[in-house]
Every structure is written in C-alpha cells, then in structure tokens.
Amino acid sequence: MTIRINNITLSIDDDMSLIKTKACKKIKVAESNIKSFKILKESIDARKKDNIKFNYCVELNCDNEEKIVKRAKDNNVVIDSYKEEKIVFGNKELKTRPVVVGFGPAGIFAALTLAQNGYKPIVFERGEDVDKRTKTVEKFWSDGTLNLESNVQFGEGGAGAFSDGKLTTRIKDRRCSYVLEELVRNGGPEEIIYSGKPHIGTDILKIVVKNIREEIKRLGGEVHFTSKLQDINISNGKLKSILVNGDEIQCERLILAIGHSSRDTYEMLHRQNIFMEQKPFAIGVRIEHPQEMINVSQYGKFANHPRLHSADYRLTYQSEKFKRGVYSFCMCPGGVVVGAASEEKRLVSNGMSYHARDLDNANSALVVTVGSEDFEGNHPLAGMDFQRHYERLAYELGGGDYKAPVQLIGDFLKDRNSTKLGKVMPTYKPGFEFRELKNCLPSYVVETIKEGIGVFDRRIKGYGMEDGVLTGIETRTSAPVRISRNEKLQSISVEGLYPTGEGAGFAGGIISAAVDGIKAAESIMKEFIIK
C-alpha cells in the first residue's frame, strides 16, 4: 500500500528537490518520515508560453497511510493499493521449447518473459545482430547497397532500432510499467519511467536490446540471427513444425512477432490458409522543418531552456472535403530522415533520432488514411500490394539507387518542381533528387496533405514554410493486414500459432508491441509447464 499524490506543480526554474517537499507539505508529513519516494509521471504544461510548468504524480510510503490520506481531504491524495496480478501456470506438458520468430519489441519481450519464468525459448531472427546490422544499414545509407534480410526493417531490435525510440502509448496496461523498468534495468535512461513523453533514442536502444538478448541467453534461452522462417507445418489444425534456413524444427507453440514489413512471411501464411484480413493504414511523406522553429512555436521565450528538450508536436485533422484523416506520425525532434527499404527497387522513408535529439531538423511523417476502398480487390494482401505499387513509383521517381524524391513545401502546394534548396537541408540518406511528389502518391493523398498543411500552419507558425522539405514516401505506418486470433491469442486457423505485435496488426509502437508479446508468452504459460 502506498500514497499517490497527483498535480504537484513546479515552475520551469524550480529545483526538482521541491517535488518531495511539496508532496510532504500536501499530506503534512515530515520528509524524514518518508520511507520511499518516486516520481510516477512528469508532464509539461506549455499552454501558456510565458508560464511553462511541470506537473508531477508521485508515490510515497510512510506510516499510517490511510489515516494521512483521510486527514488530507484532497482528491489528489489517494491510497494506491494495486496488487500485482500473478500468473497461474498451466499443468499441461509442453514437449518442445516455445519458439519466438522475430526479435523486435514483441519478440524480445515475449522471449524475455518466457525466459524469466523458466521456459527457455528459442528465438529466430531473419536479420543480423544489432552491431552487424548497424554496419549493414550504414552501408545502405552510404551507397544504396540493400541487404534484403537485414536492414532498417529486419534484424535485432526490429524497425524501432532505427527510429526515435518513442515509448509513448495509448494503452492502459500494467505491463507497460514492467516494459519500462526492464528497459531501464538493461541500460535505458531512468527518466523514461516517469516522463510524459518518454523516448530512448536509436543509440541507447541498440545497447538495451543487446543487454536483454544476453539476459535471455543467461536464463537458458537461445537467440539465432540470420535465421529465416520459411514455412510452417500444420497437421489436423495444429502446429507441428517450422522450417528455418532449410531445417525442420519440431514446434508446438510459436509466437510470430514478424513486424509490419515481413511481406514474404505474409505470403507464406496466406498459402498455408492462415486467416488474415485487410487493415487500414496511412501513407504520405516525411516533412522537415528547422528544430529551432518548432521549439519557439511550442515553448515561446523558453525555447532552448535547459529544462526543456527539443520540442515535438502531434497534429491531426479530418478533411470534410476528402473524408480522410491527415496526421503527423512518428515525429522525430532533432533527427534525420533515412532510407528504410526492405525490398528491391521499392523506396521507403522513415524518421530517426538519437537520444540527445540535438540535430538541426525536426521531421515527422505526414500521412493520410487509406483502407479497403482504396485497394484493388478483396484479397487479404491487397493493402500490401498497394504499398508496393507506390514504393516502386517512388523508387523510379528518385532515379534508382534508393535516392528519394524531394520537393519543397511551397513548390508542392503550387504543383511545381523544386530547383534549389532554402534554409532546410534534406537529411535523407542515401540521397535525393528534386521531383514532384504527386507522381508517386495517390491524388487524394496529395490533395489531403495540401489541405492538412494549411490547417497545421495555423497551429504551428511556419509549418507551411516555403522552403520546408517533403521527402517521399512513408508507407510503413502500420501493418496492412490483421492476422485474426482467438481469446487465447492464437490464430483462429491454427492451434499453437500466436500472431503478435505490429506485424499481426495488434500493436502500434514499441510499448504496445512489447506488451502484446508479453501477453502471448503469458498465454502459453497459463496453459503449459516445461518438465
């Protein structure tokens, strides 16, 4: 039992030591009587640009807690009697070790959960370990040499390893705290535990995933890289074995955490009659502005204050004219735009930030919703084919070698090709060419983005600046399919197959994918024991 106190406010120049002082004053208890104290959440209130404040929720432990809370007579002071939910383990014997395919957030936390409970999982990841993968990706960014099995989408850490490493989520689940605590325990910055908008950065995330991998191995698990799932063997509706790198492996329980870009795996699953269905997603461009402009817009005179990091934003708008949503996605303060292709002659862009978020540009995806009405036909993989079509157009428009088509915002709005850069330098690697982006996107996406830029320019001064940069194209906002599953999180088509995370269409970010992986592991643990 602990006391939780909400709405403790500090001004931007207050020392953080005042948090504990204010908490104790609110409950009329001397600081010396506090047995434990921690910050649960920090958020920034920047609604008044001339008076930015920090708001905190804290948890503390002391004697006579119920009496103290009752005496406080304050709705912001409550007893937190949360009890951790205990897993009731199953009693069926699992004859083969559980297998996890994919080592992004869902696969990592599924494997870690199983390993921590004695199940000694076997992990197969088609890409390389994060160190080798980083060298492979950097070569692609430097000269356009694409490795189809190990790239920004595939490899240890998943697509999130080359991103901003955002840890925000809209889901409310007790497992979120566990994920953050494990990230910190394995090398993540401590502030992600309580930050209102936690992020870890690609540089630190790579260290963390290596440490978790070694922990899984220490606990008896195995992690195999450059190991691709090629097929699954089903008998009487039950999973029997899998084919990895040409070798058949007996397998009763498989957590499938393949990420949103494993298109060849989707095709294999479809051939095996695994039920899946089309799912809406969004496509568009990456937009770059000076980070300083975003800082001033969000923080006013306090821009670049030492207590404030590079500012971010989140923008959404529903177009009545086009009946579509347009929104920012995966906003990367002080970051770069990078090539994220995973197939030959198809171009994909993404955003990435290091932990410091201290580079010159802010970038974000600026995307428009698309769905079944936009795809050709009712085939479950029609959305994937839709992605492929526009990725190929973007590749060809950029002139090959994975150079991206780029256009200044002012020229995009006026339907003219750009000829020279202004204040904003494109950061996309491997390179770019000036091209009209309307030639690699659906017309309704182009027109909705134009309308959205006008709306967003009224919310963030300068958002529609003439020489801001648009880079084509962003297509991998989420999976184009959902692999249907039952209440045990198993595929409705095959017993023993657990489609998990973003690739299965059940998550949308690092934390939600990790939580989904944990839930899949728990489902196995609730049914089976290992002898």
Domain boundaries of the chain, sorted by first residue: 2-80, 92-277+479-529, 280-474
**Contacts from 292-299 at CB under 8 Å and sequence distance 24+?**
293/362, 293/461, 293/462, 293/465, 294/333, 294/362, 294/460, 297/460, 297/461, 297/462, 298/46, 298/460, 299/46, 299/49, 299/52
Query: CA 263, CA 266: separation in Å to the nearest integer?
Result: 5
Mean pLDDT (whole number) for 457-482: 97
Quick: pLDDT tens for 246-261.
Answer: 999 999 999 999 999 9
pLDDT at 256: 98
Query: CA 311, CA 362: separation in Å to the nearest integer?
Result: 9
What CA–CA distances, in Å, run from 309 to 199, 290, 330, 472, 496? 11, 15, 17, 28, 45
Quick: pLDDT tens for 152-174.
Answer: 999 999 999 999 889 988 888 88
pLDDT at 35: 95
pLDDT at 81: 73
Residue 531 has pLDDT above 90, yes or no: no
Superfamily of segment(s) 92-277+479-529? FAD/NAD(P)-binding domain (3.50.50.60)
Q: Is the peptide bond before 460 cis (omega within 30 degrees of 0)?
A: no
Quick: pLDDT tens for 74-92.
Answer: 999 999 876 677 888 999 9
pLDDT at 530: 79
pTM above 0.85, yes or no: yes
* Architecture of the 2-80 domain: 2-Layer Sandwich (3.30)
Query: CA 172, CA 128: separation in Å to the nearest integer?
Result: 33
The answer to whether the CB of 289 falls within 8 A of the CB of 331 is no
Tokens 């770019």 sit on residue: 432
pLDDT at 349: 97
Mean pLDDT (whole number) for 372-381: 96
Query: CA 235, CA 255: separation in Å to the nearest integer?
Result: 18
Quick: pLDDT tens for 324-349.
Answer: 999 999 999 999 999 999 999 999 99
pLDDT at 509: 93
